[in-house]
Amino acid sequence: MLSEKCSWEVAHRMSFESLKSVKRIVVIGGVAAGMSAASKARILRSDIEILVFEKSGYISYGACGLPYLISDLIKSPEDLVAYDSKFFKEKRDIDVFLYHEVIAIYPAKQSVLVKNLKTGAQNEYQYDKIVITTGARAFVPPIKGIEIKGIFTVKTLQDGIETKDFIRKNDPRRALIIGAGHIGMEMAEALAMVGMDVTIVEREPNILGTMDEEITKIVEEGLIRNRVKLFKSTSVREFISKNGYVREAILDNSESISADIVIVSIGMKPNSEIAGEAGIEIDHTGAIKVNQLMETNVPGIYSAGDCATAYHQVLERQAYLPLGTTANKQGKVAGENMVGGNASFKGIVGTAVLKVFDLEVARTGISEKDAQIEGFNFISNVVEQSSRAHYYPGGSNIRIKLIAQRNTGRILGAEMVGMEGVSKRIDVFATAIAAKMTVEDIGELDLSYAPPFAPVWDPILIAANDLKKKIRDQD
């Protein structure tokens, strides 16, 4: 972990002069990864031209805030925008072209074909280096009636604006959410907050499919407690409209669910088509294959964010787990390397957290399901411990599932659910996984303690020590 000189110091000494031939970089897509790449490149090189093409009317926004825009906790779409194109032009000398879609990349010519979506005009732009940060789109299943008014996805700021607008104009009372993943959970809370009766339909037998049942069943109980109706192991066969608006969904078993608004949140699909057409390698999920330098297989072409793979430190290979934090980090690496740097994306460990009504739910590393699929020799346990000292009022139980390598005790993953103290406790495990710690190492950590914040044996320590004991007892 610790070397005499950090690698970034070495990187710094590499002169950015070495890439003086780079005069113009092009960024395809101006949300998290794209604007991070553009900004990082500008910090390192004041002498180059930086063009960003964004097909929508918004850049640099926090897509993770969309459920809260829709629930009206956040009033205006502009609140989600970190910086606008005027800021990027004036403060960073970055040229952002809104409503401009890159429709083709020509690696041999080092150019892109760009369509102005307002005028229809097409123009070709030369580049020296390019980064594809086209993100992902919500997957829309081919259900009969899917095109009916009142059915939305929640991925882009435009999606959020349209959904919020629909709610304001039509005052829907009954909401149906298709898919019980992270977005589905957050949208269930958001729509319940604005007073709707919420129903969720999930095709799989469990909600939050990336996590294990010992944790997700607590979340299910939370949904029920908050009067959300949940249908599992079933799908919507057809949507029925009335006066042109969605009114009903028919399930596989012909059961009918009334709905004035439908949110489709069954997954994301990388926007990798123009990359594939340009001969860039795509993986089985549809994501653009990159290495830890954020390079694709085509020289001079980088990719980052929701359209690209990310190195997974536990799986020790590239994987597709699109998240905003990763997009920002990868964008910075791509931006640096495009202008001659030598940055490396250290990788993800699979950390995620979400709020579902009164619950905090989090994961990092791999689940038991993942461990099985990946062929790890693993062992796991589940503990439940108070978030505060037993005598301090207001605490609540945190349930932790830990997964470790059976032979070494190295931690592979952690999942957590509780009413408080989950969101940042998961980061202790994320840090431990990055450091390749064992359950023994974790059980001996000097974690903070004061009665309002933790018991003297933090739930983290209890979970690690219990699993350590379980490993020892099986010998």
Q: Which of 102, 323, 403, 417 binds its own copies (CB under 8 A)?
A: 323
Closer to its own copies by CB, 88 or 239: give it: 88
Size of the site for its own copies (CB under 8 A): 88
DSSP 6: -
Q: Which of 158, 325, 372, 396 binds its own copies (CB under 8 A)?
A: 325
Asked if residue 447 binds its own copies (CB under 8 A), the reply is yes
Asked if residue 276 binds its own copies (CB under 8 A), the reply is no
Tokens 């960003």 label which residue? 52
What are the backbone dihedrals phi and psi of residue 205, each rounded to the nearest 5 degrees, phi first? -75, -10
Q: How far is the CB of 351 from its own copies (least distance, A)?
A: 5
Is 261 in contact with 172 (CB distance < 8 Å)? yes
Contact region with its own copies (CB under 8 A), list: 58-66, 170-178, 211-219, 370-378:
58-66
Q: How far is the CB of 66 from its own copies (least distance, A)?
A: 10
Which residue in 47, 243, 54 sits closest to 132, CA to CA? 54
Asked if residue 360 binds its own copies (CB under 8 A), the reply is yes
Q: Is 6 a catalytic residue?
A: no
Q: How far is the CB of 43 from its own copies (least distance, A)?
A: 10
Closer to its own copies by CB, 235 or 337: give it: 337
Asked if residue 441 binds its own copies (CB under 8 A), the reply is yes
Asked if residue 437 binds its own copies (CB under 8 A), the reply is yes
Q: Which of 326, 337, 385, 386 binds its own copies (CB under 8 A)?
A: 326
Q: Which of 113, 217, 453, 470 binds its own copies (CB under 8 A)?
A: 453
Q: Which of 39, 425, 464, 467 binds its own copies (CB under 8 A)?
A: 425
Asked if residue 389 binds its own copies (CB under 8 A), the reply is yes
Which residue in 197, 204, 247 sits closest to 223, CA to CA? 197
Q: How far is the CB of 227 from its own copies (least distance, A)?
A: 21
Long-range (24+ apart) CB contacts under 8 A made by 12-18 are: 14/340, 14/341, 14/342, 15/340, 16/44, 16/45, 16/339, 16/340, 16/341, 17/340, 18/340
Asked if residue 121 binds its own copies (CB under 8 A), the reply is no
Q: Kindly name the residue from 11, 44, 64, 257 that is annotated as catalytic.
A: 64
Closer to its own copies by CB, 172 or 418: give it: 418
Q: Please report, to the nearest 10 degrees, the dihedral formed by the alpha carbons of residues 62, 64, 67, 69 taken in order.
A: -10
3-state secondary structure of 364: strand
Asked if residue 421 binds its own copies (CB under 8 A), the reply is yes
SS3 breakdown of the chain: % helix, strand, coil, rounded to 5?
30, 30, 40
Burial 395-407 (b: 16+ CB within 10 A, else e): beebbbbbbbbbe
Contact region with its own copies (CB under 8 A), list: 45-53, 57-65, 207-215, 217-225:
57-65
Element (H, E) at 90: helix 85-92
Asked if residue 255 binds its own copies (CB under 8 A), the reply is no
Spatial separation of the C-alpha atoms in residues 372 and 33, rounded to whole Å: 32
Asked if residue 382 binds its own copies (CB under 8 A), the reply is no
Which residue in 224, 210, 235, 207 sits closest to 403, CA to CA? 210
3-state secondary structure of 7: helix
Q: Which of 364, 381, 385, 386 binds its own copies (CB under 8 A)?
A: 364
Asked if residue 304 binds its own copies (CB under 8 A), the reply is no
Residue list 13-52, contact with its own copies (CB under 8 A): 32
Cα–Cα distance list, 271 to 137, 142, 156, 268 (Å): 7, 18, 13, 9
Q: Which of 454, 463, 464, 467 binds its own copies (CB under 8 A)?
A: 454
Active site residues: 64
